Structure 1
C-alpha cells in the first residue's frame, strides 16, 4: 500500500471548533464515515499520530484520543511496531452504505453495440498481430534522449503551457517538408492537421465531413474500426468487392449512377486487410469518378513507409488538382504504436473546419513530442531509421513467406505482399477459424479474433510478420501448420473467382 499521507485527510476530515462535540470525536466520526463508504478500505495503514496531527492542524494528543476511540469501537487495529490499520469489522455490515465504487449507474444509458470491440489481451508465449512493428527495433533510446534534452531547454519550456490553437509551427513546417519529399505532395503548413494517430484521423474526418444518412463506400473486406467510425457519424455503408487489383472501381461507378455518394474510403497502397495495391489504372479512374460525381476520397496510407518494390505509387493526393482527396497517415508504425502522432492533409478550408473540432477534443496536442519529432525529421534521423527498418522488415517478409511456402503451400492461396507489414492468407478449404484460434492458444500461440475473416464465401487470416524474428516466425508457423492438420470442421470452397469477399 502506498504512503497513507497521500490520502487527502485534510479535505475529508471536517473539524469545527465551534461545535459542542469534542474535536477528537469529530475526527473519529469523520473517519468512521470514510471507512463505511469505502474510502478507507480494510487493511489500509493510517499515518502516525504525529503526521496526522500536522496534516489536520491539531495537537497530537487529540489524534491519539481519536485513535483510541476508533480502536474501542472496533474500526481500527493497532499492531506494535507496525502501525494502525483499518479493521474488517463493520464496513461491510452497514446496510445501504458504500463499500466500493458502484458498478452500475443509477440512471439509464444506451448500450452502444456498434462501437464494441473484441480484446485479445491474452498472455501467451508468442502472438500474431495484424502487421505491427517490432518494438525491439523501435527508436526508443533516441526518442528518450531527445525528449529529455528538449525538456531541459528553456525554449522547450514554453511548450509546457497552452499554445494558441495548439500549434507547433516548427513541427508543422518539418512535417510538411517530410510529406512533400516522401509522398510527392505540394502541401503547405496550412494544409496539415497534426493528430494522435489513425483513429483520431478517422474520427475528425468523419465528424467533419459526414452527416446522417450519407452514403460511404468501403472495400469488402475492409478496416472494421473505420467502418464503425463512419456508422457512428450516421453514415450508411455500401461495400464494394476488392480483387487483386484493389477496390472495384467499375462497381463504384454503377453505384454513383443510382445513388449520391458522399465518400469513398480506401487504403490504396496495401488494402486493409488483403494487402493488395490499387492499380494505377483504377487510381486514375477513381479520381476521375470523384471529379464527375463529387464524392470525397478519404485516402488512408497506413503502411505507406514500407514499400518493398521499386515501382511504388504516390498517393492520390499527389495528383489531385481539384481538392477531392483527403489524405491521412501516422508515425505510429514508423516509430512505435505508442508514439501517437498522425496527420491529415487536406485543402486549407477543410483544415480550418477540422481544427475547430480538434480544438474541442484535443486543444493543445502533444507539443513536446511534436518538437522532438520535428527535430528528428530536420536532422534526417527519421529517414535513416526508416531505411534501416525497411531492410529488416523486407528480410522478415521474405523469410516469413518462404516458410509459408514450405509449410502451408497446399492449404493457402496467397501472393507476396509488395509492401506493408502483414500477409493475407485465403484458405483453399473452409475451416472453423474460431476453433483453430482456440487450439493455437492451447499451444501458447495467440491468434486474435481480429485477424480472422470468415463468411460463407471466405476463410482467411491476416498475419503480421514484422514483429517476429526468424526463430519466432518459424515457431509460430509450425504450430499453425500442426493445427491445420487436425480434423477441424471444414467444407471445400472453390476459389476460382479472383475477387475477395467478406
Structure 2
C-alpha cells in the first residue's frame, strides 16, 4: 500500500501525528484488517523523518492493538481491532442510545451564575471583595513551605489535627461548645450527606421545617428519606405540631436551623428549643442542627447552639466557614456523640479519603495568627451596618406607600420580606433587570409526605441578602425591584 498523506503541523510532535493518522485510518476503514504497511525505512523516506520516529509510531500502534508486528516481515493492520471503536464493530452492531438505570431521580440545585447580575441579594453570600486576600495568601504560602509527609499522605481523613485544634478552641470561646473532637468536611453539604447516609434507610421519616434549605432536603431524600413538613409560625418550629407528627410516624431525624432559620431568619426561642429537645429525647429522634452563620448576630449575643447543652448526646452539630470566608474554601465541620462521630468518620473515608491538606493547614495558620478573628470582627461590623441600612430602606419604602412588612432579624445575612403581591412575577421582572433574589416558593419541598405548601396565589415573601454588596448598591437594587409599584403611587 502507499503511505498515507499527512499534512504535518508545527504544534505537535511528528511521531504523534503519524500515530493519529494511521489510527484514524484504521478506525474509519481506510486501512482494512491484514493490510500490510510499507517498511519503516520507506515510511521514513516518504515523510522525510528519522527512521526512529517512524519506529516509535509503529510500536505505539502495536501496543494499542491497531497493528501487529510480523517478525522480519512487516507491520500489518490487526485483524482483531479494539471493538469499541472499530468500523467493523459499528457495521455489525449499530450503536443506539443507552438507557442509564440511575438509582435515584436527578436533583436540580437551580445553580445560577451570579456574575451576570448587577445587584445580588443572595441570602448566604459574603462580601468576597472584603476578604483579606493578602493575609490569607501568606497562610497559604506557609502551608506550602512547612507541610510534612504525614500531612500529605492518606491519613487524617477526619481533618488535620492543626485545624481541628484551632476550631475546637474557637468553638469553646465563641459558642460555649466544649468538645474534644470533630470531623472536618468538604463544606456543610458533605456533612449533611454523611448524616443522611449514616442513618437513613429507604422510607425512614425525617422531620423538616416547612420552609427550609433545599440542598439539605435533597441530601436526606437521596438516601431514601420520606420528608415530613412541620408547621412554622413567627417564632419558628411549632412544638405542638412536631409532637403530633412524632405520635403519628416513627421519625428518625429532625433537621433544624435554630439560630437564623433558613429562609425566614427567625431565631428559635430558648423555651421552644428545650421543648423540642425533650420531645426528641422522648421519642428517640436525633436533632441535626445546622448552624450555618452563627457569627453574624447583631441585636445581642447569639444563643448558644443546642449542641452546647446536649446531655443525652442526640444533637449532630454542623457548621461551616463558607459564610466567614467563601464557599470556595470548602471548610465545614461537625460534632456528635462519640459513637455517631466514629460512624461518620468511617463514611467520610469512603466518600473522600483525604481532605485538602494545604487549605486546612492554611486556615489553621490563619486562625493561629489572629487574622481570622480580626477578619470576623471587621465583617460583623460591616454586616451590622448593612443590616441596619436594609431595614431603614424598607421603612422608607413603606412610608412612600409600598405595602411591605418585615421583622428585623436578630442576625444572619438576609431579610424575609412580605411584599403582599405575586413575588414570582416580581422576581421574573427583577431578573430581567439584572437583579437576583429568591422567592418563597423556592423553599418548599414538593415531595414531602405531608406537604404544607400553600395553594397558588399565596406566595408573597422574598429573601433578600444584604452581605454581598455595599449599602449603596443594595439601596439602588431595592428601588429597581419596586420601581414599577413606586411609579403608580
TM-score class, shorter: 0.7 to 0.9
Task: Describe the shift of the 1:287–1:478 C-alpha distance in structure 2 as closer, same or farther (beyond 3 A).
Answer: same
What's 1:141 paired with? 134
What's the CA shift for 1:335?
0.9
Task: Describe the shift of the 1:56–1:34 C-alpha distance in structure 2 as closer, same or farther (beyond 3 A).
Answer: farther
> Is 1:473–2:484 an aligned residue pair?
no
What's 2:421 paired with? 430
Q: How far, CA to CA, are the matches of 2:96 and 2:160 in structure 1?
A: 42
Q: How far, CA to CA, are the matches of 1:398 and 1:54 in structure 2?
A: 75
Q: 1:214 aligns with which of 189, 204, 210?
A: 204
Q: How far, CA to CA, are the matches of 1:55 and 1:420 in structure 2?
A: 70
What's the CA shift for 1:205?
0.8
The answer to whether the 8 A contact 2:440-2:459 is kept is no
Residue 262 of structure 1: SS of its match in structure 2? strand
Task: Describe the shift of the 1:55–1:238 C-alpha distance in structure 2 as closer, same or farther (beyond 3 A).
Answer: farther
What's 1:274 paired with? 264
What's the CA shift for 1:8?
11
Task: Describe the shift of the 1:284–1:166 C-alpha distance in structure 2 as closer, same or farther (beyond 3 A).
Answer: closer
Q: How far, CA to CA, are the matches of 1:405 and 1:95 in structure 2?
A: 72
Q: How far, CA to CA, are the matches of 2:127 and 2:89 in structure 1?
A: 49
Residue 274 of structure 1: SS of its match in structure 2? coil
The answer to whether the 8 A contact 1:328-1:344 is kept is yes
Task: Describe the shift of the 1:106–1:415 C-alpha distance in structure 2 as closer, same or farther (beyond 3 A).
Answer: same
Residue 358 of structure 1: SS of its match in structure 2? helix
Q: How far, CA to CA, are the matches of 2:338 and 2:260 in structure 1?
A: 27
> Is 1:106–2:98 an aligned residue pair?
yes
> Is 1:341–2:331 an aligned residue pair?
yes
Q: 1:362 aligns with which of 321, 332, 352?
A: 352
Residue 264 of structure 1: SS of its match in structure 2? strand
Superposition pairs of residues 481-500 of structure 1, within 5 angstroms:
481-485=482-486
Q: 2:254 aligns with which of 249, 264, 285?
A: 264
Q: 1:415 aligns with which of 378, 385, 407?
A: 407
Task: Describe the shift of the 1:324–1:105 C-alpha distance in structure 2 as closer, same or farther (beyond 3 A).
Answer: farther
Q: How far, CA to CA, are the matches of 1:198 and 1:149 in structure 2?
A: 26
Residue 371 of structure 1: SS of its match in structure 2? helix
What's 2:63 paired with? none
Count of residues in Structure 1 that have an aligned counterpart in Structure 2: 420
The answer to whether the 8 A contact 1:124-1:445 is kept is yes
Gaps of 5+ in 2: 1-9, 31-43, 59-85, 444-452
What's 1:385 paired with? 375
Please tell me the root mean square deviation across aligned C-alpha atoms, in Å.
3.4
Q: How far, CA to CA, are the matches of 2:190 and 2:297 in structure 1?
A: 24
Q: How far, CA to CA, are the matches of 2:465 and 2:50 in structure 1?
A: 55
What's the CA shift for 1:273?
0.3
Higher mean displacement: 28-37 or 470-479: 28-37
Spell out, residue by residue over 1:84-142, the C-alpha distance to the aligned partner (whole angstroms, 9 max, x if none).
Answer: xxxxxxxxxx99999xxxx9962433495451222332623222212310111123222
What's 1:376 paired with? 366
Task: Describe the shift of the 1:13–1:419 C-alpha distance in structure 2 as closer, same or farther (beyond 3 A).
Answer: farther
Superposition pairs of residues 121-132 of structure 1, within 5 angstroms:
121=113, 123-132=116-125
Spell out, residue by residue over 1:297-330, the C-alpha distance to the aligned partner (whole angstroms, 9 max, x if none).
Answer: 1000111111112242100010111101110001
What's the CA shift for 1:224?
1.2
Q: How far, CA to CA, are the matches of 1:258 and 1:447 in structure 2?
A: 37
Higher mean displacement: 453-462 or 366-375: 453-462
The answer to whether the 8 A contact 2:27-2:87 is kept is no
Residue 365 of structure 1: SS of its match in structure 2? coil
The answer to whether the 8 A contact 1:332-1:339 is kept is yes
Task: Describe the shift of the 1:8–1:143 C-alpha distance in structure 2 as closer, same or farther (beyond 3 A).
Answer: farther
The answer to whether the 8 A contact 1:451-1:462 is kept is no
> Is 1:441–2:434 an aligned residue pair?
no
The answer to whether the 8 A contact 1:118-1:449 is kept is no
Residue 430 of structure 1: SS of its match in structure 2? coil
What's the CA shift for 1:459?
1.4
What's 2:319 paired with? 329
Q: TM-score, normalised by structure 1?
A: 0.76
Q: 1:245 aligns with which of 235, 246, 251?
A: 235
Spell out, residue by residue over 1:232-283, the C-alpha distance to the aligned partner (whole angstroms, 9 max, x if none).
Answer: 1111111112212111112111222222221111000010000000001001
Task: Describe the shift of the 1:460–1:352 C-alpha distance in structure 2 as closer, same or farther (beyond 3 A).
Answer: same
Task: Describe the shift of the 1:380–1:13 C-alpha distance in structure 2 as closer, same or farther (beyond 3 A).
Answer: same
Q: How far, CA to CA, are the matches of 2:123 and 2:51 in structure 1?
A: 55
Task: Describe the shift of the 1:207–1:95 C-alpha distance in structure 2 as closer, same or farther (beyond 3 A).
Answer: same
What's the CA shift for 1:374?
1.5
Task: Describe the shift of the 1:483–1:111 C-alpha distance in structure 2 as closer, same or farther (beyond 3 A).
Answer: farther
The answer to whether the 8 A contact 1:143-1:372 is kept is yes
What's the CA shift for 1:447?
3.6
What's 1:177 paired with? 169
The answer to whether the 8 A contact 1:327-1:346 is kept is yes
Task: Describe the shift of the 1:272–1:97 C-alpha distance in structure 2 as closer, same or farther (beyond 3 A).
Answer: farther
Residue 439 of structure 1: SS of its match in structure 2? helix
